[in-house]
Chain A
Amino acid sequence: MSFPKKPPSKALEILQGLPRISLVNLRPEPGSTKLGKRRGRGQHGGNRSGRGHKGERQRGTRPRLGFEGGNTPFYLIIPKYGYNEGHSRRPQYPPLSLRRLQYLIDLGRVDPSQPIDLTQLVNGRGVTVQPLKNDYGVQLVDEGADIFAAKINIEVQRASEKAIAAIERNGGVITTGFYDPISLDILIKPVPFFLRGQPIPKRMLPGEDLVSYYAHAENRGYLADPDQIQHARLALAQKYGYTLPDLSKDELFRMLSMRKDRRQIFFGLAPGWLVNMAEKKILKPTDEKVLQYFSS
């Protein structure tokens, strides 16, 4: 597909003739940088050097933070209560606002013509997920729901009701899916995983406390009944007052109806397959027992 090229304008010709940009040719905007105050130099930086007059302040021997001169300090007098008890065992979901998602789509960092997955979001540097800090994925937050205008097929790990409504109003599809920590690690960094030489594992099911979330149609859970999801879509449309667009008449229907299996981590790759990055090949097991395990 080659279009006939127009001759470039004079300005563009000049620009193309200039040398390449490098650190040698760049300087900051005048007035943008300001030199910091250097202590111990000159009339204003010297003398006491900003430390004050005598005492612990000047001599740098102030007591620890929180010390109140001897009476029991605030941080000790307040009794403990189990607000933070078990905090390290709680799953965390860093938020992704619809505003940020729209920004990423507008800048082309995330492609709306393909299903949007956590891998795509991380590739476009839209979110940062830390599985080692108990992050279990990403949650869709409804900031920017009124300006959101993109038709996408997105899979996140949690979503608020308004965010679901905003996406479905624009003719998109949203699913919430669970990834156990190992699968999440593989999902956000696929290439380092493929270089490990291990077959793709199957995704584990959520624990009992999270199963009820993912089995409900209101949350568009991946374990929920598709008919109930349709009912929930209609109900949500009625609640928020928009007409639900008919997806079957959409030209991107095939893309929008792509959904991952409950054991699948990547689109197009099944558990048990081994991806060879060096020779760009996929190896599949043939042993029956292995096949049965990976497809169970």
Chain B
Amino acid sequence: MAASFLSRRTLALSNATKACLASKMINPASGIGTQTASYHAKPLKLNLRLPYIPDKSSEKTPEWQKTAQYDRKLFGRYGSASGVDPASLWPSHAELDRIIAEENEWNPSLEVMLENIAAQQKAETEQRLAKEQLIAANMAKMPKMVADWRREKRESRKKLKEEKARRQKLLAEAKERYGSTVDPRSAKFQEMLAELEKEEKKKKKLLKRRQREEQAAVPVTPPVAAS
């Protein structure tokens, strides 16, 4: 019956449970040893001659000796001499339903557990891959970002330098004009700046006029030269 129950994965099942053996001669061909002492169990003192079986109907017997658990222990110790019905030792249908419900709640089947594990691992790997892809994409952008940043830094530094050079030049101008170092915040400096601007504007206007005249002269002369 054991084989019919359980021959799902086992190849060979029935091995009698070992009772106490004094010593065994092992086949020397198996190469283990000539004689080994096997496990010699202590004798089980079951007291089968004078068993104590409590009287269920009497009031003097304590309550705990009338319970089902005590009956099971009685049967375990004394066997059929205890007068306990063996059929009561297995769970009744109601109890069995309760046990099955509890087991299904707390112990999922192997397939469910393996599925859960697979799902967890898949989620983990996906997360890891997504993170790695993000990192790779960002790293690919890095050279360009580095170059951009360097360029910007260079330009800002250049602008600062130019600004400084311009301020130095103005100060030198002012010094040349007024003969002594002028504070850039003073009114004199502002007037000087205004004058400089005017001169710049005039120069530009003259340049523009000359350019216009040259442009006017250039298209006129070739027809004159041609003719």
Q: Choose among A108, A205, A284, A295 the residue that contacts B38 (Cβ–Cβ < 8 A).
A: A108
- CB contacts under 8 Å to A, within B70-91, are 71-81, 84, 86, 89-91
Q: Choose among A1, A114, A274 the residue that contacts B25 (Cβ–Cβ < 8 A).
A: A1
Q: Choose among A109, A251, A294 the residue that contacts B30 (Cβ–Cβ < 8 A).
A: A251
CB 8 Å contact bits of B44-77 with A (1 = contact, 0 = none): 1010100000000000000000000001111111
Contact residue range for chain B? 35 or more
- CB contacts under 8 Å to A, within B105-142, are 107, 109-110, 113-114, 116-117
Q: Choose among B6, B15, B90 the residue that contacts A114 (Cβ–Cβ < 8 A).
A: B15
Are the C-beta atoms of B38 and A199 separated by less than 8 Å? no
Judge if B218 is at the interface, Cβ distance under 8 Å: no
Are the C-beta atoms of A258 and B6 separated by less than 8 Å? no
A286 to B84, CA, bound (A): 18
Q: Among A57-65, A159-167, A208-216, A234-242, which stretch is in contact with chain B?
A: A208-216
Are the C-beta atoms of A150 and B32 separated by less than 8 Å? yes
Q: A115-B15, A293-B100 are in contact. Are A204 and B107 (CB under 8 A)?
A: yes
Judge if A13 is at the interface, Cβ distance under 8 Å: no
Are the C-beta atoms of A258 and B1 separated by less than 8 Å? no
- CB contacts under 8 Å to B, within A94-137, are 105-106, 108-109, 111-115, 120, 123-124
- For B116, the chain A residues whose CB sits under 8 A away are 208
Chain A interface mostly: loop
Judge if B217 is at the interface, Cβ distance under 8 Å: no
A237 to B77, CA, bound (A): 50
Q: Choose among A111, A196, A281 the residue that contacts B73 (Cβ–Cβ < 8 A).
A: A196
Are the C-beta atoms of A263 and B6 separated by less than 8 Å? yes
- Nearest Cβ on chain B to A114's Cβ, whole angstroms: 7
> How many residue pairs at the A-B interface have CB separations less than 8 Å?
151
- Measured CB to CB, the nearest residue on chain B to A197 is B76
- Nearest Cβ on chain A to B40's Cβ, whole angstroms: 9
Are the C-beta atoms of A270 and B89 separated by less than 8 Å? no
Judge if B224 is at the interface, Cβ distance under 8 Å: no
- For A262, the chain B residues whose CB sits under 8 A away are 8-9
- Nearest Cβ on chain B to A70's Cβ, whole angstroms: 51
CB 8 Å contact bits of A212-255 with B (1 = contact, 0 = none): 10010000000100100000000000000000000000011010
- Measured CB to CB, the nearest residue on chain A to B78 is A278
- For A191, the chain B residues whose CB sits under 8 A away are 41, 44
Q: Choose among B38, B79, B90, B100 the residue that contacts A281 (Cβ–Cβ < 8 A).
A: B79
- For B48, the chain A residues whose CB sits under 8 A away are 278
Judge if A195 is at the interface, Cβ distance under 8 Å: yes
Judge if B187 is at the interface, Cβ distance under 8 Å: no
- Measured CB to CB, the nearest residue on chain B to A286 is B87
- Nearest Cβ on chain B to A253's Cβ, whole angstroms: 9
A196 to B74, CA, bound (A): 8
Are the C-beta atoms of A290 and B90 separated by less than 8 Å? yes
Judge if A289 is at the interface, Cβ distance under 8 Å: yes
Q: Choose among B18, B76, B80 the residue that contacts A196 (Cβ–Cβ < 8 A).
A: B76
- For B18, the chain A residues whose CB sits under 8 A away are 114
Q: A112-B32, A289-B96 are in contact. Are A120 and B107 (CB under 8 A)?
A: no
Q: A268-B14, A293-B99 are in contact. Are A195 and B77 (CB under 8 A)?
A: yes
Q: A194-B76, A211-B114 are in contact. Are A260 and B17 (CB under 8 A)?
A: no
List residues of chain A with CB under 8 Å of any chain B CB: 1, 105-106, 108-109, 111-115, 120, 123-124, 150-151, 191, 194-199, 204-205, 208, 211-212, 215, 223, 226, 251-252, 254, 257-264, 266-272, 274, 276-279, 281, 283-285, 287, 289-290, 293-295
27 chain-A/chain-B pairs, Cβ below 8 angstroms:
A105-B32, A108-B36, A109-B37, A111-B38, A113-B30, A195-B77, A196-B72, A197-B73, A197-B84, A198-B89, A204-B107, A208-B113, A226-B9, A259-B9, A261-B9, A267-B15, A270-B1, A271-B5, A276-B76, A277-B44, A277-B79, A278-B79, A279-B79, A279-B80, A285-B90, A287-B90, A289-B93
Name 14 extra pairs, CB < 8 A, besides A109-B39, A197-B73, A208-B117: A111-B24, A113-B26, A123-B39, A195-B73, A198-B72, A208-B116, A212-B117, A252-B30, A258-B12, A258-B13, A268-B16, A277-B44, A277-B46, A277-B76
Instruction: Rank and list the top 10 A-B pairs by shortest CB-CB distance, nearest first.
Output: A197-B76, A278-B79, A108-B36, A197-B72, A261-B6, A197-B75, A108-B37, A279-B79, A123-B39, A195-B76
